[in-house]
């Protein structure tokens, strides 16, 4: 489904990013994995991808830094010559009630989750526009749609990603570049693994399907949006949440 395509995935070493990278590779795409700090996880993911017979390279980058993101994009383009797919998945959480949330906790989450997505799109914008094709997939969250107590920073960033997605979709549609967002609910990752049992039980009670999603389920949706089969879909926010936010 993705043969002869090159994909860039931020936060590609673990969790949802890792699952997307492997799913893309299974469908024939070569992958550039961007990681922020865990080089070992990124390299392990790259090795698994190489075992599938496709190319994988890792690149360290703080996506929240405009200039560093540009240098990384330039380096990837030098290595891969063209990029067909961008997945903005890099994200962090610093949860806490708004009453006690400090400025750094708010700013840093927006810098990585939202500004990082802008930076990557900004530096690949001209490239995709000139080649008259491309797929941009932004990982948002149901928290950005419905809000979540203790996540004023995260919900704001994920809501911002939705606005960014719709704007980019309108700007690039004339150049055959689509931009869509995926909004996962509770997915089995390191991030949700750190939640208390009480919070997990509460979540299960609110999810009609009565289970958490798997990263591989998000990855299959991403692969569809990255493929030619999704060519008439742009500006959409697709929830994958087991019915949590209906």
List the chain domain ranges. 6-240
Q: Contact, 29 vs 85, CB < 8 A?
A: yes
Q: pLDDT (tens digit, 0 to 9) for every residue of the chain, 246 residues total?
A: 999 999 999 999 999 999 999 999 999 999 999 999 899 999 999 999 999 999 999 999 999 999 999 999 999 999 999 999 999 999 999 999 999 999 999 999 999 999 999 999 999 999 999 999 999 999 999 999 999 999 999 999 999 999 999 999 999 999 999 999 999 999 998 767 666 677 778 888 999 999 999 999 999 999 999 999 999 999 999 999 999 999
- Residues taking part in catalysis: 154
CATH code, residues 6-240? 3.40.50.720
C-alpha–C-alpha distance, residues 17 and 116, integer Å: 15
DSSP-assigned states of every residue in 79-119: HHS---EEEE-------B-GGG--HHHHHHHHIIIIIHHHH
Strand partners, 59: 34
- Cα 75 to its chain centre, rounded Å, is 20
- Cα 92 to its chain centre, rounded Å, is 12
Quote the pLDDT of residue 195: 67
Contacts of 103-112 with CB under 8 Å at 24 or more apart are 105/153, 106/152, 106/153, 106/156, 108/64, 108/153, 109/153, 109/154, 109/156, 109/157, 110/153, 110/156, 110/157, 110/160, 111/64, 112/36, 112/63, 112/64, 112/157
User: How many residues are given for the chain?
Assistant: 246
Quote the pLDDT of residue 194: 64
């Amino acid at each position: 489904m993705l043969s002869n395509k090159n994909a860039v995935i931020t936060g590609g070493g673990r969790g949802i990013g890792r699952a997307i990278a492997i799913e893309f590779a299974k469908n024939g795409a070569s992958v550039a994995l961007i990681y922020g700090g865990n080089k070992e996880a990124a390299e392990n993911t790259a090795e698994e991808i190489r075992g599938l017979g496709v190319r994988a390279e890792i690149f360290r980058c703080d996506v929240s830094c405009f200039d560093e993101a540009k240098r990384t994009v330039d380096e990837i383009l030098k290595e891969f010559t063209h990029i067909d797919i961008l997945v903005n998945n890099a994200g962090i959480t610093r949860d806490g009630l708004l009453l006690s949330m400090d400025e750094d906790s708010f700013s840093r989450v927006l810098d990585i989750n939202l500004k990082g997505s802008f930076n990557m799109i900004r530096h690949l914008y001209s490239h995709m526009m000139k080649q008259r094709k491309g797929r941009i997939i932004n990982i948002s969250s149901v928290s950005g749609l419905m809000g979540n107590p203790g996540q004023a920073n995260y919900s704001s960033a994920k809501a911002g990603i939705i606005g960014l997605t719709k704007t980019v979709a309108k700007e690039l549609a004339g150049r055959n570049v689509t931009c869509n967002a995926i909004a996962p609910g509770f997915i089995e990752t390191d991030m949700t693994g750190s939640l208390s049992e009480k919070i997990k039980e509460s979540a299960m009670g609110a999810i009609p399907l009565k289970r958490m999603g798997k990263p591989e389920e998000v990855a299959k949706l991403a692969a569809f949006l990255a493929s030619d089969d999704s060519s008439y879909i742009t500006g959409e926010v697709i929830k994958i949440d087991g019915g949590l936010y209906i």
